[in-house]
Chain A
Amino acid sequence: GAGVSQTPSNKVTEKGKYVELRCDPISGHTALYWYRQSLGQGPEFLIYFQGTGAADDSGLPNDRFFAVRPEGSVSTLKIQRTERGDSAVYLCASSPGTSGGTGELFFGEGSRLTVL
């Protein structure tokens, strides 16, 4: 498709389980961002990729969270030993340029994660 695609759109899991969230960015976009949005708050930055490498992972809350982008296109956000506090909407966005650029972000519709 032409836009950013995220799967699954909804994921319900039990505390302690492992979860993977996938993002397929717009073709040709080198920059990819992951955000987490909790109720009543704005998107919280998690990690930014430029190509295959994580250019900034300062937003990852702890070592249970990990993300990869092995071929510079699709990215997977991985959450180990999920906790109830991980429940949120996980947004992915892509951009043609770099973090310091002024180009707009193109967002997916998000993956809603619920940890019971």
Chain B
Amino acid sequence: ILNVEQSPQSLHVQEGDSTNFTCSFPSSNFYALHWYRWETAKSPEALFVMTLNGDEKKKGRISATLNTKEGYSYLYIKGSQPEDSATYLCAWGKLQFGAGTQVVVTP
């Protein structure tokens, strides 16, 4: 994988359901994987910076895992709420972003 790829492109989730989505990145020369949340009309906000293979990070109902050997990270949202609606971006280092996964949580 030469680029950062995110899938799916968009998700519709019912309030209360849990969901997860993927970021794939080059596994060579890895030093950091960033996750950001970007709500409409706001600036992207950092969620996690992950550096070690096997890293697991958690912030409230949102958590992320990292596999640097195979080049992927999962982001999980447990018990989705409407305020979780946003585009979630991952970035390999600081220079290469994925296209994002747009999450829409409906009441």
Please list the residues of chain A having a beta carbon within 8 angstroms of any beta carbon in chain B. 3-4, 33, 35, 40-45, 48, 56, 59, 91, 93, 95, 99-110
Contact = CB atoms under 8 A, between A and B. Distances in A.
Contact of B94 (A3, A40, A105, A109): A105
Contact of B49 (A4, A41, A44, A103): A103
Interface residues of B, number: 24
Contacts of A35: 97
Contacts of A4: 43
B48 to A, nearest CB: 9
B6 to A, nearest CB: 8
A41 B6 CA distance: 11
A7 B72 CA distance: 36
A104 B34 contact: yes
Interface of B: 4, 6, 31-32, 34, 36, 41-46, 49, 51, 89, 91, 93-100
Nearest to A58: B95
Interface centre among A42, A56, A101 (most CB of B within 10 A): A42
Interface centre among A4, A43, A91 (most CB of B within 10 A): A43
A91 B91 CA distance: 14
A45 to B, nearest CB: 4
